[in-house]
Amino acid sequence: QVQLVESGGGVVQPGRSLRLSCSASGFNFNYYAMHWVRQAPGKGLQWVAIMSGDGSRKFYADAVKGRFTISRDNSRNMLNLEMSSLRPDDTAVYYCAKDEGVGGTLGSIDYWGQGTLVAVSS
Amino acid sequence: DIQMTQSPSALSASVGDRVTITCRASQAIRNDLSWYQQKPGKAPERLIYLASTLHGGVPSRFSGSGSGTEFTLTINSLQPEDFATYYCLQHNTYPCTFGQGTKLEIK
């Protein structure tokens, strides 16, 4: 079955960087687009970024554009999120999520990891 | 960006009731809409995709409808495990956007 396990969260000072990773198993990782979605404490879901299965397409939310970079290593079934210039309002649980889109296509999120908490605080 | 307006933001209901949650898109999104359920401390789970198709293993008391700009999630005969927060998500145009969420509470 689909399994997504995030890692790399923690407490980080404002202005610093952090890298999140997501290890995927149970499906052909290189076929499918992958997302990052976040949820601030007590708040709703906020979409962050997506990368297509073949790496040809990437999109970002305006709130993170220019600061966050999504990447993937299909040989290791890993999705990454490099976050820089972190701000207190980036504090959230970050979820890795699988898209049902194959190759260069994008579709709906069908499976989610359990999330990793990032706290930006001095 | 496409805005998703979800209503109501909170809803009280009893076991056995039927409830409806609505999402309105700021522009037409065909049927590129999914619904998710999230319980406290857990990751969301997909219920519905393409506006009306049930995700595998989801009970048939959940149903979705709509196209274009207006969409509904209906839960028939509420069960105790259905009390949770529900979100819609449009993926027609990037950035994709979630509704604000509807917290379904026991009356």
pLDDT of residue A101: 82
pLDDT band at A90 (very low <50, low <70, confident <90, very high): very high
Contacts of A66 (CB under 8 A, 6+ apart): none
- The CA distance from B45 to A109, in Å, is 9
Q: Identify whether B8 is preceded by a cis peptide bond (ω within 30 of 0).
A: yes
**A23-42 burial by CB neighbour count: b if 16+ within 10 A, else e?**
bbeebebbebbbbbbbbeee
Of the residues A108, A114, A117, the best mutation for testing chain B's interface (the one with the most B CB atoms within 10 Å of its CB) is A108
Q: Which one is predicted more confidently, B69 or A103?
A: B69
pLDDT band at A103 (very low <50, low <70, confident <90, very high): confident
Residues of A with CB under 8 A from a CB of B: 44-47, 50, 59-62, 95, 100, 106-115
**Per-residue tokens: B23:** 């999402």
